[in-house]
Structure 1
């Protein structure tokens, strides 16, 4: 649904053509790279890098703090931050020093390193769970935790919320379409009907959740405290309390995935608002950008895992990944948890996000646009709707991909990199005081050309 926004589509197309030409002209070195065969599909190491709304991929020369410098020498204020992977800034000094030091002592051995005790204590203190495991990614952490949940409960199904994102876990990559659980179009080559193992219900819908849990076949409810990938959707008042009450009532475990909502505060949404999950997951930024995922769990979960381990043959206690828990990861985790994820850094991040929020709200009011802004800690988003959606269906109805792509390209040409998939911004701890006003001014200049 396109709300009554005074955007002339012909002017929007002309704007996009001008901005594309400006991008091409100002980036000859990146353009030359794009035209060369380099051995990678599409010229990029991951095909989704082609999804950015730019004529050809931007090649990054270096990154530091909240700035990126591209191959052609343009310095960009980064409000994407690797879609959370660099949430605490690019190359945070404590992590860089820890990685450099560990490199001289060995990277991986498939055995615990000397940092294990300190990292375990830091994880317990920051996030509350008594027991922890390390993986390479949050996707792996979710995958392994769901496997454990199924083994413990002896139930096959999981439940997710429409619009969720839990990484590359196949059974979570679903949409709710006409009341049916179906695989997302982006889940290529899916070999089986995901509805056999996954139930999908609308976010913020207590009745739908209760109806699904009454089957007593759900091993685990896996959820973000707020939707962050289909657009940002906050939980309604009392919704998360109801999720916890209902999962306990029906013998289902609750997994809270804080990979994105870690931006809420030093303990994530769970620590900030006092959630009580059985399993807690994070990744991306948790080790300052070094590939790492973590999953923590309760005493009851620990006893369940111990029981499961006694039921399998000795010597092969589970399918994992060899590089998980490496000395390199542990050194980076220790540095990030101890010296980067500090109250001071979070205060700076949230202050920057508030400044962006205030500026965007003022601009929307000045231009009388039927848009709104949502902020969750250091993360915020402009929504093309007059009131904030409460579920994924409402959020999808607000999308305007043509407008979004034009704005993103215009911002890039004006010195700002934003998340490519929707209008989400992430404020890093070193974001300058001038950056929020400059961002709003850049957006204003774009809107003046297309309104």
Structure 2
């Protein structure tokens, strides 16, 4: 019979994980009496006790109540300072309140926040988007979810096809059609969807990332309007594309008359212009949310010249009426001001060089710790985005990524890192380097990770 303490998760004995989680949870509570008093039993007036349900998904005993965030540091209401490597799960990838963005917000605040008309900043943004990301035609939305929805409408309109294709383990916000997965080789709705009464697989095909034979087969009947994908799977344990994958993806979609949508919301960490620009990808549609306005809710979606021409022809022929694209508060002057500041002064080659340099340092430091304690883990990185994965690697697809996810172990590590002054992403072991991140912060993260790894491996 297997003893309880012989059962391992990610190479660590389960009872050891439980001991560390319990000890670290008590340390967390002791350091945050004000946060516990205010939110430990939920916040009055909010469903589930939090303003947004995922605030309960942090693995800490209760959410941290933030007093302020600046650069790459968060300070809570108990006075605890945290080196922030979560950075709003990419929303603040360029740091909290970058000075150019903060100045732009103050400037615009006295000039009106929304009026459904362009501002001077809007006139500058169009050429900036063309320059940064390479596509000629753009629209503004408020979230990447909205941008992806609108882009998929365009794809279906011009192709006359209904079906889209996604990769198992993908993440494109809360776009309904992408909420599918593979189970035992069969496409199903993702478990846990609230109020979903449709079989989403009726109009969505799902295959594994990096599986070119499966991709070719799925596109063969020429029923797929659009393949929507991240260049790297990120909202699971990170999966990098195998050599030649993206070139083959583009060739196969063109052969099938299928459009290609690249969602860079997380992979914008790769470098200036995102993975698309750095690696020379040629999407028909491009989406970027979260950090494009320095933390102000905004997103962009763009298209190629050919696709724009096709959509213009469609527009001339379709029946007049509401397109189903657009929200009233999208493309407002506050977004324009913050986005212009981000594009001109924050999203720069110099800042990306700094981020890349420190990300390499973090990657090497975490890898050295994993090797030192002979842990069956690995590190994955795409530009300024780094992730330690509590399983051997590299991972090839979403199925492997799901199998590599070890929630109990990851939760224990997360709380232990917070107690050592470091905050990483709550949903996976993701860490971001910002232009405001300093060498000392990276060194502290590596040292904290080493201390936690030593305790786990003891």
TM-score, structure 1 normalization: 0.97
Q: What CA distance in whole angstroms lies between the structure 2 residues aligned with 1:262 and 1:15?
A: 35
Residue 174 of structure 1 deviates from its aligned partner by 1.3
Structure 2 match to 1:181: 187
Moved more, 160-169 or 185-194: 185-194
Q: What CA distance in whole angstroms lies between the structure 2 residues aligned with 1:306 and 1:37?
A: 49
Residue 63 of structure 1 deviates from its aligned partner by 0.5
Moved more, 186-195 or 256-265: 186-195
Conserved? CA contact 1:181–1:194, under 8 Å: no
Runs of 4+ in 1 over 3 A off after TM superposition: 2-6, 311-319
Q: What CA distance in whole angstroms lies between the structure 2 residues aligned with 1:357 and 1:417?
A: 16
Q: What CA distance in whole angstroms lies between the structure 2 residues aligned with 1:74 and 1:328?
A: 32
1:125 equivalenced with 2:115 (yes/no)? no
1:227 equivalenced with 2:233 (yes/no)? yes
Residue 315 of structure 1 deviates from its aligned partner by 6.2
Structure 1 match to 2:309: 303
Conserved? CA contact 2:212–2:249, under 8 Å: yes
1:106 equivalenced with 2:112 (yes/no)? yes
- Residue of structure 2 aligned with 1:409, choices 409, 415, 422: 415
Residue 438 of structure 1 deviates from its aligned partner by 1.3
Residue 5 of structure 1 deviates from its aligned partner by 5.8
User: SS of the residue aligned with 1:129?
Assistant: coil
* Per-residue deviation, residues 271-307 of structure 1 (Å, max 9, x unmatched): 0010000001100001101111101101111112212
Count of aligned pairs between the two proteins: 450
1:440 equivalenced with 2:443 (yes/no)? no
- Residue of structure 1 aligned with 2:246, choices 229, 240, 248: 240
Structure 2 match to 1:53: 59
Structure 2 match to 1:15: 20
Q: What CA distance in whole angstroms lies between the structure 1 residues aligned with 2:281 and 2:336?
A: 26
Q: What CA distance in whole angstroms lies between the structure 2 residues aligned with 1:271 and 1:12?
A: 42
Structure 2 match to 1:62: 68
User: SS of the residue aligned with 2:326?
Assistant: coil
1:286 equivalenced with 2:292 (yes/no)? yes
The within-5 A match list for 1:178-217 is: 178-217=184-223
Gaps of 5+ in 1: none
Q: What CA distance in whole angstroms lies between the structure 2 residues aligned with 1:42 and 1:413?
A: 26
User: SS of the residue aligned with 1:285?
Assistant: helix
Q: What CA distance in whole angstroms lies between the structure 2 residues aligned with 1:316 and 1:8?
A: 58
- Residue of structure 1 aligned with 2:375, choices 365, 369, 372: 369
User: SS of the residue aligned with 2:166?
Assistant: strand
User: SS of the residue aligned with 1:375?
Assistant: strand
- Label 1:354 to 1:28 Cα distance change in 2 as closer, same or farther (>3 A): same
Structure 1 match to 2:262: 256
Conserved? CA contact 2:225–2:259, under 8 Å: yes
Residue 37 of structure 1 deviates from its aligned partner by 4.5
Conserved? CA contact 1:4–1:370, under 8 Å: no
Conserved? CA contact 1:199–1:212, under 8 Å: yes
User: SS of the residue aligned with 1:438?
Assistant: helix
- Residue of structure 1 aligned with 2:36, choices 31, 51, 61: 31
- Label 1:37 to 1:84 Cα distance change in 2 as closer, same or farther (>3 A): closer
Q: What CA distance in whole angstroms lies between the structure 1 residues aligned with 2:101 and 2:327?
A: 23
- Residue of structure 2 aligned with 1:333, choices 320, 329, 339: 339
- Label 1:390 to 1:401 Cα distance change in 2 as closer, same or farther (>3 A): same
Conserved? CA contact 2:9–2:406, under 8 Å: no
Moved more, 26-35 or 179-188: 179-188
* Per-residue deviation, residues 304-336 of structure 1 (Å, max 9, x unmatched): 221222234446444420111111111111110
- Residue of structure 2 aligned with 1:44, choices 50, 54, 58: 50
Q: What CA distance in whole angstroms lies between the structure 1 residues aligned with 2:197 and 2:283?
A: 31
Q: What CA distance in whole angstroms lies between the structure 2 residues aligned with 1:319 and 1:340?
A: 29
Residue 230 of structure 1 deviates from its aligned partner by 1.1
Residue 386 of structure 1 deviates from its aligned partner by 2.6
Conserved? CA contact 2:42–2:50, under 8 Å: no
User: SS of the residue aligned with 2:225?
Assistant: strand
1:78 equivalenced with 2:89 (yes/no)? no
- Label 1:203 to 1:399 Cα distance change in 2 as closer, same or farther (>3 A): same
User: SS of the residue aligned with 1:360?
Assistant: helix
Moved more, 309-318 or 406-415: 309-318
* Per-residue deviation, residues 380-433 of structure 1 (Å, max 9, x unmatched): 111222321111111222222111110000001111111111111111111111
What CA RMSD, in Å, does the superposition of the two structures yield over aligned residues? 1.5
* Per-residue deviation, residues 190-235 of structure 1 (Å, max 9, x unmatched): 1210111100000000000000001111000000001001111110
Residue 184 of structure 1 deviates from its aligned partner by 1.6
TM-score, structure 2 normalization: 0.96
